[in-house]
Structure 1
Amino acid sequence: MSEKHQPSTQPDATEGAQDQPEALIAALVEIERHVGQSGWDQPARLFALVRTADLVAAEPHLADQLTVTSEDALSSIEQEDFRDGEDLMTTLAQIGWSESVHGCALALERTFLPAGLEDQIPANPDEAARFVAKHPQRQDVRVVVGSLRDGSSHGLARLVSEPDELLGGTQLVPALASALARTLA
């Protein structure tokens, strides 16, 4: 089930550890906003999620640059050398994080067709990609999915056709959330 999120959602400074999903959602909203500033047609982008308190303790000079510094807040650190390669799931299966990383998130764009058109898509992967890319009913979407070490995950989505609407849910892209969770194991 998806729900709408306001892009300005931020965790409250009084939230406790049980509110990790709220901290995750706030981090994902910030990532989506950051990625969105560069427009569309971007490659996949990977982020480490660290506890903001730990980041400030290790790098005090960063405190002035952070928008949220509550104890349970999460900060994202883009992995600028990330390349998703030929197969995103294979690439993710090769990633592992240090214990200092509390979670991770991935932002990526995809094109999809509405339900009911599956039987028209060619079986050949290259032909299928061309078919979807040229179809008049295609939808372009940016998703940002994150997983934490405690097993929680969440996803956000923005359609290019609905730029002011941010959708989200825990089961938005479950296979991607699971693949991200495995990188934390």
Structure 2
Amino acid sequence: MPAKSCARRRFLKLAAAGLASASTPASALFRLTNQCLDPTGTPASALETAAWQGINPADWWDCHTHIVGSGDSGSGITQTPDMHAPLKHPVQTLQHWAYANAACIPDTHQDVAFVKRLRALMDTTPKGAKAMLYAFDRAHGASGDPDHANTAFFVPNEYAQSLAQAYPERFE
């Protein structure tokens, strides 16, 4: 493994351990909390408007949109418990916080909150533009069987498909 990767991994582990042992939340400690502005309350800039000139929105798909959540809606999404064990697994806990923070989803009702946020973001694009939703597969062992112990996060294909069917005007 390159020296830079080892140094980066060591830094992340130390930073995560510091977050886990701090008495204040990570967001207060580092002031890294995403402001999660309301996308519908932010008018399109001149640059955004100009970028759409000459583009048929029906021909535009964001072709790499991962779904996130916690499975709290019956979606079938699973997360490793390691993502919620700051003392045992500080790096995965920090990753979980970073993903949820970036996606503007709270600690509860994550499945519904993510879909609501993604729909609001898509509603700021011209009608016809779509996001291609991606599931997130499990790790698999040499035999090809699912390896649940080494799967950090899983989003079933069926859930991605159900969202595309529920909101065909914005999702594929």
Bucket of the pairwise TM-score, normalised by the shorter protein? under 0.3
Q: Which has the higher helix share?
A: 2
Q: Which has the higher strand share?
A: 1
Scaled by the length of structure 2, the TM-score of the pair is 0.24
Scaled by the length of structure 1, the TM-score of the pair is 0.23
